[in-house]
Structure 1
Amino acid sequence: MLVLPDREAAEEAVEALRERFAVDEEPQVVRDALAGEDDAEDAQWLVVLRDEDGRLDAAALDEFAGEWDGWREEP
């Protein structure tokens, strides 16, 4: 799962994931409001991707998420 600062970054990341990592399954973009926050400005956006075969390199995904001021988290 990649955590990104806004929806635009998340949508751009999904497009780039397809190109750079050739992911088989479409990653999902999910809004994750911070606890206690009602303002959409305070939301993080998650890009949820499956890698059941372990093909994706964790370090490469860390670097990739950093391009959008985000980070990778393990589920």
Structure 2
Amino acid sequence: MSDVRHVLVLPDRDAAEEVVQALAERFGTDEEPLVVRDALAGEDDAEDAQWLVVLRDERGVLDPGELDEFAGEWEGWREEP
């Protein structure tokens, strides 16, 4: 089993929470993804933060292109690990 992780970068917390809900529906994920606030370097304002959704894919069944397109629906993207 490999430890494959996908990181989806979202513009705000609401988008990140919606993505977590939609992941299970769209991709049938079993495990709850990790949601992390990522303050941009040098920014103190809470508005200037991205939210990361870290998703484990031990079986390697999630397509990176589909995840990138999926994150784009919330104005986000998939970051290469």
**Pairwise same-fold verdict (TM > 0.5):** yes
* Richer in strand (by share): 2
Find the aligned partners of 1:10 and 1:19 in 2 and give their Cα distance: 15
Which AA in structure 1 matches 2:39?
Answer: A
Matches within 5 A, 1:9-48: 9-48=15-54
Which residue pairs with 1:62 in the alignment?
68
Shift of 1:24: 1.6
Once the two structures are aligned, what percentage of the paired residues are identical? 81
Which residue pairs with 1:52 in the alignment?
58
CA RMSD of aligned residues (A): 0.6
Which consecutive aligned stretches of 4+ in structure 1 deviate over 4 angstroms post-superposition?
none
Shift of 1:74: 2.1
For structure 2, the 5+ residue unaligned runs are 1-6
For structure 1, the 5+ residue unaligned runs are none
Which AA in structure 2 matches 1:30?
Answer: V
Find the aligned partners of 1:40 and 1:69 in 2 and give their Cα distance: 18
How many residues align? The count is 75
* Richer in helix (by share): 1
